[in-house]
Amino acid sequence: MKYTQKDIEKSNRIITRRGIVLGGAMMGFMGILGLRMRQMQVEEAEDYRLLAEENRINMRLLPPARGVIFDRNGIPVADNSQNYRIIIVKEDAGDVDDVVARLKSLIPLDEDDLERAMREINRRSPFVPVTLADRLTWDEFSTVAVNAPALPGITPDVGLSRHYPMLEDFAHVIGYVGPVSDYDLSKIADPDPLLQIPRFQIGKVGVETKLEEDLRGKAGTRRIEVNAAGRVMRELGRIEGTPGTDIQLTIDAALQNFAQVRMADESAAAVVMDVHNGDLIAMGSAPAFDPNMFVRGISGPDYRKLTENEYRPLANKTVQGTYPPGSTFKMITALAALEAGVIGPDDTVYCPGHTTLGGRRFHCWKRGGHGYVDLDKSLVQSCDVYYYDIAARCGIDKIAEVAKRFGLGTRHDIPMSAVAEGLIPSTQWKQVVRGEVWRPGDTLNASIGQGYVLASPLQLAVMTARIASGKAVSPRLVKSVSGTADPVPTMAELGTNENHLRWIRRAMFRVSNSERGTARRSRIVTEGMEIAGKTGTSQVRNITAEERARGVTRNADLPWNRRDHALFVAFAPFDKPKYAISVVVEHGGGGSAAAAPVARDIMLQALYGGLPPLEAYPAGQREAIGELHDTWPLRDMPKPGPARSRA
């Protein structure tokens, strides 16, 4: 097709217009781009410079020093010690196996720790530092430092590590710290960024976990320069964190040590409590363990030794253990009957050695019976039939109400793990929990602290303190926080008739001091320091009619785990009560033989503030007690004072 001159001119005009439009659009776009570049380079230059700087400068968290825990006298029982350790960076080391072999030729390395470190090295990025060994001696640390040029990738480092100078003594009270686990993080809704630091340690049990937020402190920061791969090139500056809060407990370290030593060969628990302000002076659970083993990560064999021990050293028996209180519960049954008006102090019940209910016999511990028994004699000689009778008349619900008023069946608010509530049964409880009707026989069992009744040593100490003081004393474990005394709450009156309490206290005095008292051998003879107590023995097995007919098997002839629990509760001095104590010896047999002597010795230690004179003991026991004093491996107490370390 042939174009005319007119067509060509028309086409040129169209092309020219399109070129102008396209050129204009391009010029406009270039203009906008230029303006944006000017804005970024001139007006927003500072903002982008900061962004670039942040891409090169990183902020890292610095773990704070953990708060120190002291006993009531200022003796540190959980502090921080300098930790000399060796760190390796894989990419700087090159041949890790070769470097580790050279290091092993210089200092001894624990094979379990080394294996754990090698797994961590293979799991992490090559530029992330990993701890090869810690808790080195100064000689080992300096040896590595001197030879550092021949150990590529190896860096000697100094940090802080949790340390428990009292070893086993405070294991169950304070607990221990350990590395943050995924399980720990799952329990926290908004975790502190500190918890994301590799191998950062937090409280796992005891005071360490219950007061974790106070003890942890606030993180510091450091500014570091990193390269494109994220490796640290140098430190540009740092701001130290805020150390954790120091905590002072009410526990007396010397008395705590004595309680642990005194119970060393038993599976037992002891609680000593100030009857006026509720201060927990000692809370011993035996056997115990060294919490320092958990700080680094306990080995499998060591952990199995603890978990496979039938004496259960990991369990804090003072608050977690619940036991049938046996005859130590009889004071509660007596107070309930007195309040209900079904007995007076001089009213008697005849004990032929048993009582019959619905064709079933409920036996007294004394096969031949006690004859006519009043309130005083019933406690002094621990007659069971007396309590069967008065309990049947006042009913379980009245007994339960009094028991809870005296601190049983209550989860007391102290910063310790797994504090047990215990169990004080009632008609409603059995219907709701078991779907069964309460039976009269249940009341008889409960009246002597058997059946469904369960109490912890802490609860028994609270019960005894309330009997001694007549006030609603509550247990208290924290004495001060960061040097500021924790206020002692006002102790309300119990609302119990003082005459009733006076009769109970007098009977408890005779339990320990009269000729026929079940705890006479464990009395204190120093004038003005006399102890008032109550023994208890709780069955852990059923005794059949056939066994009773042929004679009940002695505890000594039974396997350890089928023997009765031994219990004793007491307060002293009788005239001016200062301390209450409860002792439970698991499968110890009789309370008078196994628990009362332990409680008497611990009480004397508390009253005298150290080993008492032999004159405090009955004359016939002094020689034997003196020999024991020489064999008890009591700890030399460090001097009170600040123990915070800032390495």
Average pLDDT over residues 30-58: 64
Return the domain boundaries, the chain: 71-249
Q: Where do we find the tokens 């309040």?
A: 339
Higher pLDDT, 85 or 418: 418
Higher model confidence: residue 86 or residue 496? 496
Point out the catalytic residue in the list 161, 267, 285, 327: 327
Encode 269-304: b = buried (16+ Cβ within 10 Å), e = exposed. bbbbbbbbbbbbbbbbbbbbbebbbbbbebeeeeee
Question: According to the model, what pLDDT value does residue 258 have?
Answer: 96
Closest to 454 (Cα-Cα) out of 406, 418, 413, 421: 421
Q: Which residue has the tokens 């064709």?
A: 359
pLDDT at 227 over 60: no
> What average pLDDT does this structure show over 555-571?
85
Place 646 in a pLDDT band, splitting at 50, 70 and 90: very low
CATH topology of domain 71-249: Penicillin-binding protein 2a (Domain 2) (3.90.1310)
pLDDT value, residue 120: 75
Q: Are 520 and 513 in contact (CB under 8 A)?
A: yes
Q: Provide the pLDDT for residue 548.
A: 62
The whole-number average pLDDT for the span 239-250 is 90
pLDDT of res. 229? 45
181 is catalytic: no
First to last CA, the chain: 96
Question: What confidence category does residue 412 fall into, taking pLDDT thresholds of 50, 70 and 90?
Answer: very high
Nearest to 389 by CA among 440, 450, 455: 440
User: What mean pLDDT do residues 226-244 have?
Assistant: 69
Segment among 234-238, 270-274, 396-400 with least mean pLDDT:
234-238
pLDDT at 95: 84
Long-range contacts of 261-264 (CB under 8 A, 24+ apart): 261/632, 261/633, 261/634, 262/598, 262/601, 262/602, 262/632, 263/585, 263/598
pLDDT digits (tens, 9 = 90+) for 263-316: 988 999 999 999 999 999 999 999 999 999 988 778 788 889 999 999 999 999
What mean pLDDT is predicted for residues 501-519?
Answer: 96
Q: Kindly report, residue by residue over 151-207, the tens digit of the pLDDT.
A: 887 878 777 889 999 999 999 999 999 877 777 777 777 777 777 665 678 889 999
Here the tokens at position 294 are 């958990």
Share of the chain above pLDDT 70, in %: 87
pLDDT tier, 647 (very low <50, low <70, confident <90, very high otherwise)? very low
For residues 442 and 367, the model is more confident at 442
Q: Is the pLDDT of residue 571 over 50?
A: yes
Asked if residue 165 has a cis previous peptide bond (ω within 30° of 0), the answer is no
